[in-house]
A and B are shown apart, each in its own frame.
Chain A
Amino acid sequence: MKQHPALRVLYVIIPVLVSLAVTSALVIAVGESPFEVFEKLWEGAFRNTESVAGVVNFWIPLALACMGLIITFTAGLWNIGMEGQIMMGALFASWAARTIQLPPELLVPIELIIAALGGAFWGFVVGVLKTRFGVHEIFGGVGLNALVSVYAIYLISGPWRQPEGGNAQSTEPFPANALLNPMSDVFPVSLIALLITVAAILVVIWILRGTRWGLNLKATGKNPRSALLLGVPTTRSTLSAFMACGLLAGLAGAYRVLFTYDSLRPNVSGGIGFLALLVVLLVGIRPLWAPIIAFVFAAILAGSTRLRVSLQLDSSLAGVLQGTLVLVVLLFNGLRQRLTEARPASAAPAAHTSSTVSAPTSGSEGAAS
């Protein structure tokens, strides 16, 4: 059964409208006009090429993180440790930028590789905690996130502190030869990073569609026990999924310090890892959609920075909008499935319409293993 196109559009529009309504209610609650807020959001993201570049600068790390998470979601893993893996990448990249002295043509690739290794290392730790020590990845991840974030604050306020009189909230700006360069003044986005991101998107899609490793990941995610019985090395799949995800997270972290901030700051990831989890929850494990939704979310994020400037509103409103959207979509999908199943005539193709399964099945095994 094909669904009527108008109906499918409706399925998208209703959650969007509901989440806009909820957000508006909150805005009214603090005494502002929702229209003005949404206008400012839009302005913050799309008023000129420079602001669009701002959106792309959020999109690059977010899309990298999303593609990483698609790998772990495919393997049935809840990688909440994403945030920490991004931070770890940022930390490693900062270390390289501060210590290694080379011309930029050599230094930048080395920094990126080191950052990717840092992220992969932190992903590996989550994986080992899970596979070897039985700690569920949600709790391992949350713990490791906090550890790296505290350590970054320690570095910024301690060993990497600025000389007297400098800003206590960041390290010294890295030398110019350690930074990624913007491609132009009107569109300040790093070309290298943009190309890497596009490549990462394509590679992840290819891995999941056409490689044996991708197949192993899927098998592990769908049913780890039978996958193991059929000869899939599930432990290795789990670990490699975490490491691949951490690799991309590390690159995202590197972008934040080597381009967005030019220095290491506390909370350098800015919640991008969590946001990426929301994106992936929204799109399920369909890798093609992730970059598109990531762009929408990046626009909301970039737009929200203007709320504080022009309306003195907390930019957490962006999170409210994104969070409600995902929540409503999840609930609405469930409602839709129930309604389609309730009608016996349409019961048969339910398998097709239920392409909304977004959470890895093994994630629901509970809080412990």
Chain B
Amino acid sequence: MNPELINILSSIIANATPLVIAGIGETISERSGVTNLSLDGSLQLSAMVGFAAALATGNILLGCFVGMLVGALIALIVVAGNIELRQDQVALGFVLTLLCADIAQFLGQDLSGERAITMPRVNVPLLADIPIIGPIFFQHTAIVYVSYALIFGVWWWMFHTRGGLALRASGDRPETAFARGTRVNRLRYFYTILGGALVGLGGAAFSLAIKPGWSNPPAMRGEGWIALAIVIFGGWHPFRVVLGAYLFAVLRALASAIQRSPDIDFPLVLLNLLPWLLMIGTLVLVSSGVVDRLLRLLPERAQKWTRNFLRSDPPTALGTRFDP
């Protein structure tokens, strides 16, 4: 395989990482029944604060930790405001999105242009030496490996443990779960805060590893909305959410390849339409029943399997408050 292609594929994996981590985080909290709509602002604020902390102390790990703390705190406001104070999750999330973006821009005004510190690249022993696969997947910064671990860890927890069953039950059938002894609201607290912390880690991954530094307006503006859409596209399943994140990164890489190629005459600015057209397009695809109609064309046996794979029903109780 030619080295340039391997390079591109490897950068796709890296570029998708913040979206992967944030998407997984949001999947966890939505599975427990809480929509954390503040993603766009949370990502920006945690990226800014994480970068500032790392800059001040010279410690990247601390930067990531502070980013997670910020994300968790924002999620705490959403979930506590919803459970204790009975405010709408969407309303709280929306206000927080705007507020956090503004706070990030205000507090980060002197940070733009500061010399970026970057996570070191770590090659995984043995695996990094495998031809093709090694350079694509295992010669990255540490945060990328964290995202791999998260993907499989969360999937395993969600579908193969009792704890994961309780998590899904509190998002799908909170009354039933409660009747069986699950403390629904306590779980919602836990998973929303955990999900928020992951969103914060995604933000820190932006400013400390993938696009190091901070600029005004921040480069990751809008990413949070895409992450939210990816969760829907992914049907609230960790694997498909991650697939969506990588798909987005692939299409962006394609766009920038077009941008660089001299043969194609296309207004560069209009390429920025692509992620958004894609977002609307994929949502139409999974929400409108088009998929169902296409499925009927398939042979019977394949139908069931594909339908299961493409299933994208939201957790039944998503966004509703549960009063025991």
Contacts and interface: CB of A to CB of B under 8 A. Distances in A.
Contact-residue size bin, chain A (C-beta under 8 Å from the other chain): 35 or more
B102 A129 contact: no
Contacts of A99: none
Contact of B273 (A147, A358, A366): A147
B91 A366 contact: no
| Main SS class of interface, A | helix
Given A147-B276, A281-B95, A30 B107 contact: yes
A316 B287 contact: no
A365 B225 CA distance: 17
Contacts, number: 182
B103 A366 contact: no
B1 interface: no
Contacts of B288: 132-135
Contacts of B216: 314
B94 to A, nearest CB: 7
Contact of A359 (B88, B107, B228, B273): B88
Contact of A331 (B85, B229, B270): B85
A369 B287 contact: yes
Contacts of A140: 280, 283
Contact of B98 (A29, A154, A319, A337): A319
A150 B276 CA distance: 10
A65 interface: no
Contacts of A42: none
Interface stretch (B6-14, B115-123, B157-165, B312-320): B312-320
Give the interface centre of A143, A144, A278, A363 by most chain B CB atoms within 10 Å.
A143
| Main SS class of interface, B | helix
Interface in A27-70: 29-30
Given A30-B110, A140-B280, A319-B102, A330 B94 contact: no
A313 interface: yes
Contacts of A207: none
Contact of A143 (B84, B279, B320): B279
A320 B103 contact: yes
Contact of B87 (A277, A359, A365): A359
Interface in A89-140: 129, 132-136, 138-140
Nearest to A132: B288
B136 interface: no
Interface string B241-282: 000000000000000000000000001011011011101100
17 contacts: A80-B94, A133-B287, A136-B287, A138-B90, A139-B228, A139-B232, A146-B275, A281-B94, A320-B99, A323-B95, A323-B102, A327-B99, A358-B88, A365-B319, A366-B35, A367-B37, A367-B231
Interface of A: 26, 29-30, 78, 80, 129, 132-136, 138-140, 142-144, 146-147, 150-151, 153-154, 157-158, 274, 277-278, 281, 313-314, 316-320, 323-324, 326-327, 330-331, 333-335, 337-338, 358-359, 363-369
